[in-house]
A and B are shown apart, each in its own frame.
Chain A
Protein backbone atom coordinates (compact mmCIF):
# COMPACT_ATOMS: atom_id res chain seq x y z
CA UNK A 1 0.00 0.00 0.00
CA UNK A 2 1.30 3.40 -0.99
CA UNK A 3 0.75 6.23 1.49
CA UNK A 4 -0.42 9.18 -0.60
CA UNK A 5 -1.88 11.54 2.03
CA UNK A 6 -0.80 11.78 5.65
CA UNK A 7 -3.09 12.78 8.49
CA UNK A 8 -1.67 16.32 8.20
CA UNK A 9 -2.32 16.37 4.44
CA UNK A 10 -5.89 15.31 5.08
CA UNK A 11 -6.40 18.00 7.73
CA UNK A 12 -4.92 20.70 5.46
CA UNK A 13 -7.08 19.63 2.52
CA UNK A 14 -10.16 19.69 4.72
CA UNK A 15 -9.39 23.22 5.90
CA UNK A 16 -8.79 24.39 2.35
CA UNK A 17 -12.07 22.89 1.16
CA UNK A 18 -13.89 24.63 4.03
CA UNK A 19 -12.40 27.97 2.97
CA UNK A 20 -13.45 27.33 -0.63
CA UNK A 21 -17.00 26.54 0.50
CA UNK A 22 -17.26 29.76 2.49
CA UNK A 23 -15.77 31.76 -0.35
CA UNK A 24 -17.89 30.14 -3.07
CA UNK A 25 -21.15 30.59 -1.17
CA UNK A 26 -20.46 34.03 0.32
CA UNK A 27 -20.81 32.71 3.87
CA UNK A 28 -22.68 29.84 5.42
CA UNK A 29 -26.24 31.19 5.68
CA UNK A 30 -27.76 28.64 3.31
CA UNK A 31 -25.22 25.81 3.47
CA UNK A 32 -26.10 22.28 4.69
CA UNK A 33 -23.35 19.63 4.75
CA UNK A 34 -24.49 16.05 4.14
CA UNK A 35 -22.14 13.05 4.10
CA UNK A 36 -22.73 9.84 2.21
CA UNK A 37 -22.30 6.89 4.61
CA UNK A 38 -20.03 5.29 5.46
CA UNK A 39 -16.88 7.46 5.00
CA UNK A 40 -18.59 10.52 3.61
CA UNK A 41 -20.04 11.07 7.08
CA UNK A 42 -16.81 11.60 9.07
CA UNK A 43 -15.58 13.79 6.23
CA UNK A 44 -18.79 15.84 6.51
CA UNK A 45 -18.21 16.18 10.24
CA UNK A 46 -14.62 17.40 9.65
CA UNK A 47 -15.75 19.89 7.01
CA UNK A 48 -18.54 21.15 9.29
CA UNK A 49 -16.08 21.59 12.17
CA UNK A 50 -13.69 23.52 9.91
CA UNK A 51 -16.54 25.73 8.65
CA UNK A 52 -17.54 26.38 12.22
CA UNK A 53 -13.94 27.42 13.08
CA UNK A 54 -13.75 29.78 10.13
CA UNK A 55 -17.09 31.49 10.57
CA UNK A 56 -17.51 31.17 14.35
CA UNK A 57 -21.00 29.71 14.15
CA UNK A 58 -22.07 26.14 14.91
CA UNK A 59 -22.43 24.02 11.76
CA UNK A 60 -24.07 20.59 11.95
CA UNK A 61 -23.48 17.88 9.39
CA UNK A 62 -26.10 15.34 8.41
CA UNK A 63 -26.10 12.26 6.23
CA UNK A 64 -27.90 10.99 3.18
CA UNK A 65 -27.79 7.26 2.54
CA UNK A 66 -27.89 5.90 -0.96
CA UNK A 67 -28.58 2.22 -0.20
CA UNK A 68 -32.15 2.52 -1.44
CA UNK A 69 -31.08 4.39 -4.59
CA UNK A 70 -28.31 2.33 -6.13
CA UNK A 71 -28.63 1.32 -9.77
CA UNK A 72 -26.69 -1.91 -9.18
CA UNK A 73 -28.80 -3.44 -6.41
CA UNK A 74 -29.10 -6.73 -8.30
CA UNK A 75 -25.41 -7.32 -8.74
CA UNK A 76 -23.62 -6.10 -5.65
CA UNK A 77 -23.61 -7.91 -2.34
CA UNK A 78 -26.34 -6.74 -0.01
CA UNK A 79 -25.16 -3.68 1.86
CA UNK A 80 -26.70 -2.33 5.00
CA UNK A 81 -28.75 0.81 4.82
CA UNK A 82 -27.08 3.73 6.57
CA UNK A 83 -28.84 6.58 8.31
CA UNK A 84 -30.41 9.52 6.51
CA UNK A 85 -30.43 12.48 8.92
CA UNK A 86 -31.07 16.05 7.90
CA UNK A 87 -29.98 18.67 10.49
CA UNK A 88 -32.54 21.00 8.90
CA UNK A 89 -34.90 20.94 5.91
CA UNK A 90 -32.97 21.29 2.65
CA UNK A 91 -35.58 23.17 0.63
CA UNK A 92 -33.94 26.27 -0.87
CA UNK A 93 -30.55 25.43 0.71
CA UNK A 94 -27.16 24.80 -0.80
CA UNK A 95 -26.37 21.17 -0.04
CA UNK A 96 -22.70 20.27 0.09
CA UNK A 97 -22.52 16.51 -0.43
CA UNK A 98 -19.37 14.89 0.87
CA UNK A 99 -17.81 11.53 0.09
CA UNK A 100 -14.41 9.95 0.46
CA UNK A 101 -13.64 8.96 -3.14
CA UNK A 102 -15.13 10.13 -6.45
CA UNK A 103 -14.81 7.29 -8.95
CA UNK A 104 -17.52 6.26 -11.47
CA UNK A 105 -19.99 8.89 -10.30
CA UNK A 106 -22.76 6.35 -9.72
CA UNK A 107 -22.81 6.86 -5.95
CA UNK A 108 -23.24 10.61 -6.48
CA UNK A 109 -26.04 10.02 -9.00
CA UNK A 110 -27.82 7.88 -6.41
CA UNK A 111 -27.28 10.60 -3.79
CA UNK A 112 -28.77 13.23 -6.14
CA UNK A 113 -31.84 10.98 -6.53
CA UNK A 114 -32.09 10.65 -2.77
CA UNK A 115 -31.84 14.44 -2.33
CA UNK A 116 -34.64 14.90 -4.85
CA UNK A 117 -36.88 12.74 -2.66
CA UNK A 118 -35.88 14.66 0.46
CA UNK A 119 -36.60 18.19 -0.78
CA UNK A 120 -35.65 20.83 -3.34
CA UNK A 121 -32.22 22.40 -2.64
CA UNK A 122 -31.34 25.60 -4.52
CA UNK A 123 -28.00 24.01 -5.45
CA UNK A 124 -26.01 20.85 -4.77
CA UNK A 125 -22.22 20.94 -4.55
CA UNK A 126 -19.83 18.03 -4.15
CA UNK A 127 -16.76 17.75 -1.93
CA UNK A 128 -14.51 14.68 -1.99
CA UNK A 129 -11.21 13.75 -0.38
CA UNK A 130 -9.89 12.03 -3.53
CA UNK A 131 -10.89 12.21 -7.18
CA UNK A 132 -9.42 9.12 -8.83
CA UNK A 133 -10.96 9.55 -12.31
CA UNK A 134 -12.71 6.90 -14.46
CA UNK A 135 -16.08 8.65 -14.52
CA UNK A 136 -18.99 6.79 -16.11
CA UNK A 137 -21.48 9.66 -15.70
CA UNK A 138 -21.19 13.44 -16.36
CA UNK A 139 -20.47 14.31 -12.76
CA UNK A 140 -17.64 16.44 -11.35
CA UNK A 141 -16.60 17.59 -7.91
CA UNK A 142 -16.66 21.23 -6.79
CA UNK A 143 -14.09 20.71 -4.03
CA UNK A 144 -11.32 18.10 -4.22
CA UNK A 145 -8.76 17.26 -1.55
CA UNK A 146 -6.38 15.63 -4.02
CA UNK A 147 -6.58 14.47 -7.62
CA UNK A 148 -4.93 11.06 -7.87
CA UNK A 149 -4.76 9.43 -11.30
CA UNK A 150 -5.25 5.68 -10.84
CA UNK A 151 -5.58 2.54 -12.91
CA UNK A 152 -8.78 0.52 -12.67
CA UNK A 153 -7.04 -2.31 -10.82
CA UNK A 154 -5.98 -0.01 -7.98
CA UNK A 155 -7.89 0.58 -4.82
CA UNK A 156 -8.02 3.93 -3.03
CA UNK A 157 -8.44 3.67 0.72
CA UNK A 158 -9.41 6.82 2.63
CA UNK A 159 -9.26 6.20 6.37
CA UNK A 160 -10.72 8.15 9.23
CA UNK A 161 -9.83 7.87 12.90
CA UNK A 162 -13.53 7.45 13.87
CA UNK A 163 -13.94 4.34 11.73
CA UNK A 164 -10.50 3.01 10.87
CA UNK A 165 -8.39 4.16 13.80
CA UNK A 166 -6.14 6.37 11.65
CA UNK A 167 -6.32 9.31 9.25
CA UNK A 168 -4.84 9.29 5.76
CA UNK A 169 -5.07 7.98 2.22
CA UNK A 170 -3.43 4.88 0.77
CA UNK A 171 -3.37 3.25 -2.66
CA UNK A 172 -2.93 -0.44 -3.29
CA UNK A 173 -3.72 -3.05 -5.86
CA UNK A 174 -6.82 -5.24 -5.42
CA UNK A 175 -4.60 -8.14 -4.41
CA UNK A 176 -3.03 -6.37 -1.50
CA UNK A 177 -6.24 -5.20 0.12
Chain B
Protein backbone atom coordinates (compact mmCIF):
# COMPACT_ATOMS: atom_id res chain seq x y z
CA UNK B 1 0.00 0.00 0.00
CA UNK B 2 1.60 3.25 -1.15
CA UNK B 3 -1.26 5.65 -0.37
CA UNK B 4 -4.62 5.41 1.34
CA UNK B 5 -7.01 7.23 -0.97
CA UNK B 6 -10.14 5.12 -1.15
CA UNK B 7 -11.76 2.04 0.34
CA UNK B 8 -12.99 0.91 -3.05
CA UNK B 9 -9.84 -0.99 -3.89
CA UNK B 10 -9.21 -2.43 -0.42
CA UNK B 11 -9.72 -6.16 -0.07
CA UNK B 12 -10.73 -8.05 3.02
CA UNK B 13 -7.18 -9.07 3.83
CA UNK B 14 -5.80 -5.52 3.72
CA UNK B 15 -8.71 -4.17 5.75
CA UNK B 16 -8.36 -6.92 8.32
CA UNK B 17 -4.63 -6.29 8.68
CA UNK B 18 -5.27 -2.58 9.25
CA UNK B 19 -7.98 -3.31 11.81
CA UNK B 20 -5.76 -5.85 13.60
CA UNK B 21 -3.02 -3.24 13.90
CA UNK B 22 -5.58 -0.66 14.99
CA UNK B 23 -6.64 -2.98 17.82
CA UNK B 24 -3.03 -3.10 19.03
CA UNK B 25 -2.74 0.67 18.78
CA UNK B 26 -5.98 1.01 20.71
CA UNK B 27 -4.20 -0.87 23.51
CA UNK B 28 -1.30 1.59 23.31
CA UNK B 29 -3.75 4.44 23.79
CA UNK B 30 -4.91 2.94 27.12
CA UNK B 31 -1.37 2.85 28.58
CA UNK B 32 -0.24 5.28 31.25
CA UNK B 33 2.09 6.67 28.61
CA UNK B 34 0.07 6.31 25.40
CA UNK B 35 2.94 6.69 23.00
CA UNK B 36 5.34 4.46 21.07
CA UNK B 37 8.49 5.42 19.17
CA UNK B 38 7.50 3.71 15.91
CA UNK B 39 7.63 6.79 13.66
CA UNK B 40 10.29 8.76 15.48
CA UNK B 41 11.95 11.19 13.07
CA UNK B 42 9.06 11.18 10.59
CA UNK B 43 6.99 14.25 9.83
CA UNK B 44 3.30 14.12 9.02
CA UNK B 45 1.66 17.20 7.51
CA UNK B 46 -2.08 17.68 7.74
CA UNK B 47 -3.14 19.66 4.69
CA UNK B 48 -6.75 20.59 5.28
CA UNK B 49 -7.90 22.76 2.41
CA UNK B 50 -11.39 22.36 3.77
CA UNK B 51 -11.57 23.23 7.45
CA UNK B 52 -12.13 20.39 9.91
CA UNK B 53 -10.98 20.58 13.49
CA UNK B 54 -12.02 17.10 14.57
CA UNK B 55 -10.45 15.01 11.85
CA UNK B 56 -7.29 17.09 11.91
CA UNK B 57 -6.92 16.69 15.68
CA UNK B 58 -7.47 12.96 15.38
CA UNK B 59 -4.73 12.62 12.74
CA UNK B 60 -2.35 14.79 14.78
CA UNK B 61 -3.00 12.77 17.93
CA UNK B 62 -2.37 9.57 15.95
CA UNK B 63 0.90 10.91 14.52
CA UNK B 64 2.09 12.10 17.92
CA UNK B 65 1.20 8.81 19.61
CA UNK B 66 3.58 7.23 17.10
CA UNK B 67 6.25 9.83 17.97
CA UNK B 68 6.05 11.50 14.54
CA UNK B 69 6.32 15.26 14.26
CA UNK B 70 3.33 17.07 12.85
CA UNK B 71 2.85 20.17 10.75
CA UNK B 72 -0.45 21.62 9.78
CA UNK B 73 -1.70 23.76 6.97
CA UNK B 74 -4.88 25.82 6.85
CA UNK B 75 -5.96 27.68 3.73
CA UNK B 76 -7.09 30.71 5.70
CA UNK B 77 -3.63 31.57 6.96
CA UNK B 78 -1.61 30.44 3.96
CA UNK B 79 -0.34 31.81 0.72
CA UNK B 80 -3.27 30.11 -1.05
CA UNK B 81 -5.06 33.32 -0.21
CA UNK B 82 -2.20 35.14 -1.95
CA UNK B 83 -2.86 33.22 -5.16
CA UNK B 84 -0.45 30.32 -4.82
CA UNK B 85 -1.64 27.28 -6.71
CA UNK B 86 -2.53 24.01 -5.03
CA UNK B 87 0.40 22.33 -6.78
CA UNK B 88 2.93 24.92 -5.63
CA UNK B 89 1.52 24.80 -2.12
CA UNK B 90 2.01 21.07 -1.71
CA UNK B 91 5.40 21.09 -3.45
CA UNK B 92 6.51 23.80 -1.03
CA UNK B 93 5.40 21.89 2.05
CA UNK B 94 6.96 18.71 0.70
CA UNK B 95 10.24 20.57 0.25
CA UNK B 96 10.27 21.38 3.97
CA UNK B 97 10.86 17.70 4.64
CA UNK B 98 7.49 16.06 5.03
CA UNK B 99 7.20 12.26 4.92
CA UNK B 100 3.43 11.90 4.55
CA UNK B 101 0.53 14.21 3.85
CA UNK B 102 -3.02 13.93 5.04
CA UNK B 103 -5.16 15.83 2.54
CA UNK B 104 -8.69 17.07 2.94
CA UNK B 105 -10.20 18.99 0.06
CA UNK B 106 -13.71 19.85 -1.01
CA UNK B 107 -13.02 18.80 -4.60
CA UNK B 108 -13.33 15.13 -5.54
CA UNK B 109 -10.02 13.63 -6.58
CA UNK B 110 -7.78 16.34 -5.11
CA UNK B 111 -5.74 13.80 -3.07
CA UNK B 112 -5.17 11.79 -6.26
CA UNK B 113 -3.86 14.89 -8.02
CA UNK B 114 -1.50 15.57 -5.13
CA UNK B 115 -0.38 11.94 -5.08
CA UNK B 116 0.57 12.38 -8.75
CA UNK B 117 2.60 15.48 -8.02
CA UNK B 118 4.49 14.25 -4.94
CA UNK B 119 6.71 11.30 -4.12
CA UNK B 120 5.41 10.64 -0.60
CA UNK B 121 2.42 8.69 0.74
CA UNK B 122 -0.88 10.57 0.71
CA UNK B 123 -3.77 9.81 3.04
CA UNK B 124 -7.16 11.00 1.90
CA UNK B 125 -8.69 12.85 4.84
CA UNK B 126 -11.89 13.41 2.88
CA UNK B 127 -12.40 14.62 -0.70
CA UNK B 128 -15.70 16.18 -1.66
CA UNK B 129 -18.53 13.71 -1.38
CA UNK B 130 -16.24 10.98 -2.62
CA UNK B 131 -14.12 9.15 -0.04
CA UNK B 132 -13.06 9.34 3.60
CA UNK B 133 -11.30 6.02 4.09
CA UNK B 134 -10.04 6.47 7.67
CA UNK B 135 -13.61 7.13 8.79
CA UNK B 136 -14.60 3.78 7.31
CA UNK B 137 -11.74 2.08 9.15
CA UNK B 138 -12.71 3.56 12.50
CA UNK B 139 -16.35 2.65 11.89
CA UNK B 140 -15.48 -0.94 11.00
CA UNK B 141 -13.12 -1.12 13.99
CA UNK B 142 -15.89 0.03 16.31
CA UNK B 143 -18.36 -2.48 14.89
CA UNK B 144 -15.81 -5.29 14.98
CA UNK B 145 -14.94 -4.55 18.60
CA UNK B 146 -18.64 -4.78 19.49
CA UNK B 147 -19.66 -7.85 17.48
CA UNK B 148 -16.28 -9.57 16.95
CA UNK B 149 -16.81 -9.60 13.20
CA UNK B 150 -18.71 -7.82 10.45
CA UNK B 151 -19.56 -11.07 8.70
CA UNK B 152 -23.30 -11.43 8.24
CA UNK B 153 -24.23 -8.22 10.06
CA UNK B 154 -27.14 -6.22 8.68
CA UNK B 155 -26.07 -2.58 8.53
CA UNK B 156 -28.28 0.30 7.41
CA UNK B 157 -26.74 3.61 6.39
CA UNK B 158 -29.47 6.18 6.81
CA UNK B 159 -29.76 9.67 5.37
CA UNK B 160 -27.88 11.75 2.84
CA UNK B 161 -25.88 9.03 1.13
CA UNK B 162 -25.77 10.95 -2.14
CA UNK B 163 -23.61 13.71 -0.73
CA UNK B 164 -21.67 11.65 1.82
CA UNK B 165 -18.04 10.62 1.52
CA UNK B 166 -18.47 8.74 4.78
CA UNK B 167 -21.17 6.56 3.21
CA UNK B 168 -19.14 5.93 0.06
CA UNK B 169 -16.16 4.78 2.12
CA UNK B 170 -18.20 2.72 4.56
CA UNK B 171 -20.20 0.92 1.91
CA UNK B 172 -17.14 -0.63 0.27
CA UNK B 173 -15.24 -1.36 3.48
CA UNK B 174 -18.21 -2.87 5.34
CA UNK B 175 -19.24 -5.01 2.45
CA UNK B 176 -15.67 -6.21 1.82
CA UNK B 177 -15.66 -7.33 5.46
CA UNK B 178 -18.81 -9.38 4.94
CA UNK B 179 -21.64 -7.12 6.11
CA UNK B 180 -24.94 -6.70 4.25
CA UNK B 181 -25.39 -2.98 3.70
CA UNK B 182 -28.74 -1.31 3.07
CA UNK B 183 -29.01 2.35 2.11
CA UNK B 184 -32.06 4.08 3.54
CA UNK B 185 -33.32 7.52 2.58
CA UNK B 186 -35.61 9.46 0.26
CA UNK B 187 -34.83 9.29 -3.49
CA UNK B 188 -33.22 12.74 -3.46
CA UNK B 189 -30.65 11.62 -0.89
CA UNK B 190 -29.87 8.19 -2.32
CA UNK B 191 -27.06 7.82 -4.85
CA UNK B 192 -27.88 8.01 -8.53
CA UNK B 193 -27.58 4.68 -10.28
CA UNK B 194 -26.23 2.55 -7.37
CA UNK B 195 -26.74 -0.70 -9.30
CA UNK B 196 -23.04 -1.44 -9.33
CA UNK B 197 -22.74 -0.91 -5.58
CA UNK B 198 -22.76 -3.85 -3.17
CA UNK B 199 -25.92 -2.60 -1.40
CA UNK B 200 -29.67 -2.90 -1.07
CA UNK B 201 -31.79 0.24 -1.15
CA UNK B 202 -34.89 1.15 0.83
CA UNK B 203 -36.97 4.28 1.20
CA UNK B 204 -38.56 3.05 4.41
CA UNK B 205 -36.55 2.87 7.63
CA UNK B 206 -39.39 1.23 9.57
CA UNK B 207 -39.51 -1.53 7.01
CA UNK B 208 -35.95 -2.72 7.75
CA UNK B 209 -35.53 -1.47 11.33
CA UNK B 210 -36.11 -4.73 13.20
CA UNK B 211 -33.62 -6.75 11.14
CA UNK B 212 -30.70 -4.42 11.73
CA UNK B 213 -27.57 -5.01 13.80
CA UNK B 214 -26.09 -1.60 13.10
CA UNK B 215 -27.81 1.67 12.26
CA UNK B 216 -25.38 4.19 10.80
CA UNK B 217 -26.93 7.65 10.88
CA UNK B 218 -25.56 10.35 8.60
CA UNK B 219 -25.57 14.00 9.44
CA UNK B 220 -28.41 15.95 7.86
CA UNK B 221 -27.65 19.05 5.84
CA UNK B 222 -30.63 20.78 4.40
CA UNK B 223 -29.30 22.61 1.33
CA UNK B 224 -27.51 20.67 -1.40
CA UNK B 225 -26.78 21.28 -5.02
CA UNK B 226 -28.69 24.53 -5.29
CA UNK B 227 -32.06 23.15 -4.23
CA UNK B 228 -33.79 21.66 -1.26
CA UNK B 229 -33.51 17.91 -1.10
CA UNK B 230 -36.33 17.12 1.33
CA UNK B 231 -39.38 19.05 2.50
CA UNK B 232 -38.36 19.99 6.07
CA UNK B 233 -36.29 18.83 9.02
CA UNK B 234 -39.44 17.81 10.86
CA UNK B 235 -40.57 15.62 7.99
CA UNK B 236 -37.10 14.11 7.74
CA UNK B 237 -37.11 13.23 11.43
CA UNK B 238 -40.56 11.69 11.15
CA UNK B 239 -39.51 9.40 8.31
CA UNK B 240 -35.82 8.78 8.93
CA UNK B 241 -34.85 9.99 12.42
CA UNK B 242 -33.62 7.52 15.06
CA UNK B 243 -36.24 8.53 17.56
CA UNK B 244 -36.57 6.95 20.99
CA UNK B 245 -39.56 5.03 19.71
CA UNK B 246 -37.62 3.56 16.78
CA UNK B 247 -34.62 2.87 19.04
CA UNK B 248 -36.85 0.68 21.26
CA UNK B 249 -37.86 -1.40 18.25
CA UNK B 250 -34.26 -2.28 17.39
CA UNK B 251 -32.87 -5.71 18.27
CA UNK B 252 -31.63 -5.68 21.88
CA UNK B 253 -27.96 -5.87 20.91
CA UNK B 254 -28.18 -3.53 17.91
CA UNK B 255 -25.97 -0.42 18.01
CA UNK B 256 -26.14 3.08 16.58
CA UNK B 257 -23.20 4.88 14.96
CA UNK B 258 -22.84 8.45 13.77
CA UNK B 259 -19.79 10.14 12.23
CA UNK B 260 -20.48 13.42 14.06
CA UNK B 261 -21.13 16.19 14.50
CA UNK B 262 -24.64 15.10 15.52
CA UNK B 263 -27.82 17.10 15.05
CA UNK B 264 -29.58 15.95 18.20
CA UNK B 265 -33.32 15.89 17.69
CA UNK B 266 -32.99 15.60 13.91
CA UNK B 267 -31.32 12.42 12.70
CA UNK B 268 -30.73 11.11 16.24
CA UNK B 269 -32.99 11.46 19.26
CA UNK B 270 -31.54 13.26 22.25
CA UNK B 271 -31.80 10.24 24.55
CA UNK B 272 -30.60 7.85 21.88
CA UNK B 273 -27.39 9.85 21.47
CA UNK B 274 -26.57 9.30 25.15
CA UNK B 275 -27.52 5.61 25.27
CA UNK B 276 -24.70 3.14 25.82
CA UNK B 277 -25.64 1.46 22.54
CA UNK B 278 -24.82 4.67 20.70
CA UNK B 279 -21.11 4.14 20.05
CA UNK B 280 -20.36 7.69 18.95
CA UNK B 281 -17.58 8.42 21.45
CA UNK B 282 -16.03 4.99 20.96
CA UNK B 283 -15.87 5.87 17.26
CA UNK B 284 -13.95 9.02 18.10
CA UNK B 285 -11.46 7.11 20.29
CA UNK B 286 -11.07 4.46 17.63
CA UNK B 287 -10.43 7.18 15.08
CA UNK B 288 -7.03 7.78 16.64
CA UNK B 289 -6.15 4.07 16.70
CA UNK B 290 -7.33 3.53 13.12
CA UNK B 291 -5.30 6.49 11.90
CA UNK B 292 -2.25 5.21 13.79
CA UNK B 293 -2.64 1.93 11.89
CA UNK B 294 -2.79 3.81 8.59
CA UNK B 295 0.23 6.01 9.32
CA UNK B 296 2.21 2.99 10.54
CA UNK B 297 1.23 0.98 7.45
CA UNK B 298 2.43 3.74 5.13
CA UNK B 299 5.53 4.91 7.02
CA UNK B 300 6.50 1.98 9.24
CA UNK B 301 8.82 -0.14 7.21
CA UNK B 302 10.05 -0.33 3.70
CA UNK B 303 6.69 -0.60 1.97
CA UNK B 304 8.23 -1.49 -1.37
CA UNK B 305 9.65 -4.66 0.08
Contact = CB atoms under 8 A, between A and B. Distances in A.
Interface of A: 65, 67-70, 73-84, 113-114, 117-119
Given A68-B28, A69-B36, A80 B17 contact: yes
A159 to B, nearest CB: 24
Interface string B58-70: 0000000010000
A81 B38 CA distance: 11
B77 interface: no
Interface of B: 17, 20-21, 24-25, 27-28, 31-33, 35-39, 66, 296-297, 300-303, 305
A159 B38 CA distance: 28
A67 B292 CA distance: 13
Main secondary structure of the interface of A (DSSP, over half): loop
Contact of A76 (B31, B33, B35, B305): B305
Contacts of A80: 17, 20-21
A78 B303 contact: yes
Given A76-B302, A78-B300, A117-B36, 5 more contacts: A75-B302, A78-B303, A80-B20, A84-B24, A84-B27
A69 B300 CA distance: 10
Contact of B301 (A79, A82, A117): A79
Given A69-B38, A74-B302, A76-B302, A81 B21 contact: yes
Chain B CB count within 10 A is highest, among A81, A113, A114, for: A81
B302 A81 contact: no
Contact of B33 (A67, A70, A117): A117
Contacts of B24: 65, 81-84
A138 to B, nearest CB: 20
